[in-house]
Structure formats: C-alpha cells, structure tokens
Structure 1
Amino acid sequence: MSAFTIRNATPADIPAITRIYEEAVLYGTATYELTPPDETEMAARMANTLRQDYPYFVACDRDGAVIGYAYAGPFRARPAYRWTVEDSIYLAPEAKGQGVGTALLRRLLDACQDKGFRQMIAVIGGADNQPSIKVHAKLGFTHIGIFEGSGFKFGRWIDTVFMQFALNGGKETLPDETVYPGTLT
C-alpha cells in the first residue's frame, strides 16, 4: 500500500471503524475491551468525541476504503486534566507497517496543537506492542512508565505503557484559562 489519504471522520465511516476496532478487540492488546461494540455504540462514541470538539480522523486507501482511524479524547474527566489528551489509533491489518499509523498520529498531534492542548498521553496496551511504541517514539513521545499487570486478556496479564508528548510548550508556559481546549473551533 503506497497511497493513502487522511481526512476528518464522519458518521458514514462507522461500519469500517467498527470492523477495524472489532479486529483489535478480538485479536490484539491495544484495547482492553473484551467484547467488540456494535455500530450503534461506535457511532455514539464518535458523536461524543466530536461533540466535545476533539479531533477524529480516518485514513483511506486509494479506492477510498477506510484502513485506519485515530482520535484524541480527554485523558481523564477531572477539570485539571482539561489540557491533556489521550490518543487512540487503530489500523486494519493490511495497513500495518505502511506508515499509516505514523501519518495519523502526526495529523492528530497537529490538530491537538492547534486546539491549544498542552500534553498528549499514549496509553499503549501491551509492553510487547512494539509497533505502537516505536511510532510514538519516532514522533517524539517519551516513555513515562509502565503500569505492570494492569490488564487481563487472552488468559494473561498485560502491562500498559505510558508515553507523553508536550504540545504548545507543555508545562513550560501557562495556558489561557479563559479557553477550554475541548471547545475550541
């Protein structure tokens, strides 16, 4: 796969997004969900993300088929975390190793920078999930810790890797507290 494009996700992408996520739930450790959500649930999740003005993108192959998606959302619900986002990236099996994840993450970083966020946190399921760890490291994320044995899936304990990327000066400058970044346009 040599050609792909990235665009804003729309509700019409939900069937493809649901299929990609189902694969991740059933066969991977990137998510700790055990039962794949249906299209109705995935549509509700997308609507909630977009309603809060977080970025949500899809990658499409040359024929327009969705081969991956990425979005940012709140890292935690408490108000003091409002300047910090968590990224999520999922790829169809045929898109892995083709630069799609890197391109989606780069687009997500740019969008979150533009919205005024100060930190992006990667919460990576599986310390053995080297492709995800490498993509994040390649784009400048630093390793901040491992939450050992934090997930139980496929009959085994799974570690969670935390990585962090500073946006807009990170902790070195104060944010404009009159603006809540999740509602910027």
Structure 2
Amino acid sequence: MPTRTATPNDLPAVAEIYAHYVLTSVATFELEPPDDAEWRRRFEAIVGAGLPFLVTERDGVVAGYAYCAPWKTRPAYAGTVEDSVYVSPSAVGRGCGTELMRELLDACRAAGLHEVIAVIADTGDPASIELHRRFGFTDAGRLVRVGVKHGRRVDTLLLQRSLA
C-alpha cells in the first residue's frame, strides 16, 4: 500500500476528505471546512516543525491522510503530539487507517517524539477507538459534553501511546 510523505499537491485531496467529515459528522468539531489557504498554512506549520504528514493512495488516488501536530505550545510539552487520521469514505475498510497509523507512529519515533495523544469524538462509531487501541493506545480520560455540533453535545475520549 503506497503510503508516503504528503506534498502540497496532495492538499486538495486532503481538504476534500476532511470536508466530508466536517460537513457530515461529529468526528471533528470544526464547523466549516478549511479553505485552501488554511490547509497550506497547516501543512507548512506541521512540516516546518519536523512533524509527519502522510497520505496513502489506492488506485493512484489519495485515499487517506494522517499527521501529528504539537499537543500544546508550551515548551514543557515538546515531544508530545496529537494525531489525526482520516480516510476517504470510498476507502473505508481497505486498510488505509491501519497503514497510516503504522507509518505515522514509525515517523513519530524517527522524529524523536515520545508521546502521541488521540482526541476522539465519541460518535458511537468505534472504528477510530479500535484503530488506536490496536496500536497500543490506552485510555487517558474522557471529557464530557465538551463539543456541540449538529445540535448534539459530544464527549471526547483521550487515548495515549508512549513511544519510548
């Protein structure tokens, strides 16, 4: 499965995948899909910080992406990141999430990171939680009713994976 480092040319496909989740789900708490300029800013910030931003392809088309961003901006949190993994609806069930998570964790280790935090909206769909648990993430907490989207209050689950 071709998983590789993302390039700026991948951003339109990344934006399309993410827009689906922004508009149709509570998996992300963003209310409006980011525009092209915002995706470029995010990409440059992540890559500029030496953090991984990956895509995976199926049949020559970007089918999913994953990246890590700093968990917090304070210097004491250096080495701790938050992961994001999104798969195109047309590619769900084709191993994209598993491949992205495996490669993302390898890239985090190579970057010298120590802790990866997952903040997962409790949507009732266990796919993201199960993906993270398969890769050794453990429960670190629950934030109750912290998000409101599509008229629904949503909890978030915190999971954590040590790389050291």
* Fold conserved between structures, TM > 0.5: yes
Match of residue 109 from structure 1 = 105
The secondary structure found in structure 2 opposite 1:42 is helix
Match of residue 5 from structure 2 = 8
Q: Equivalents in 1 of 2:105, 2:6: separation in Å?
A: 16
The structure-2 alpha-carbon separation of the partners of 1:78 and 1:129, relative to structure 1 and needing over 3 Å to count, comes to farther
Give how far 1:46 is off.
0.6
- Is the 8 Å Cα contact of residues 27 and 123 (structure 2) preserved in structure 1? no
The secondary structure found in structure 2 opposite 1:41 is helix
Give how far 1:50 is off.
0.6
Q: Equivalents in 1 of 2:134, 2:67: separation in Å?
A: 19
- 2:78 counterpart of 1:85: no
Q: Equivalents in 2 of 1:129, 1:75: separation in Å?
A: 24
The secondary structure found in structure 2 opposite 1:34 is coil
Q: TM-score, normalised by structure 1?
A: 0.86
User: How many residue pairs get matched?
Assistant: 164
- Is the 8 Å Cα contact of residues 22 and 30 (structure 2) preserved in structure 1? yes
Query: Which of 10, 35, 40 is matched with 2:37 structurally?
Result: 40
The secondary structure found in structure 2 opposite 1:120 is strand
Match of residue 147 from structure 1 = 143
Q: TM-score, normalised by structure 2?
A: 0.96
Instruction: Please give the root-mean-square deviation of Cα atoms over the aligned residues, in Å.
Output: 1.0
Give how far 1:127 is off.
4.9
Structure 2 counterpart of 1:68, one-letter code? G
Identity of matched residues, %: 44
Match of residue 17 from structure 1 = 14
- 2:122 counterpart of 1:126: yes
Give how far 1:95 is off.
1.3
Q: Equivalents in 1 of 2:121, 2:26: separation in Å?
A: 5
Query: Which of 27, 30, 33 is matched with 1:30 structurally?
Result: 27
Give how far 1:133 is off.
0.2
Q: Equivalents in 1 of 2:8, 2:43: separation in Å?
A: 8
Q: Deviations over 1:15-40 (max 9, x none)?
A: 10110010010012221000111112
- 2:142 counterpart of 1:136: no
Give how far 1:110 is off.
0.6
Is there any run of 5+ residues in structure 2 with no aligned partner, and where? none
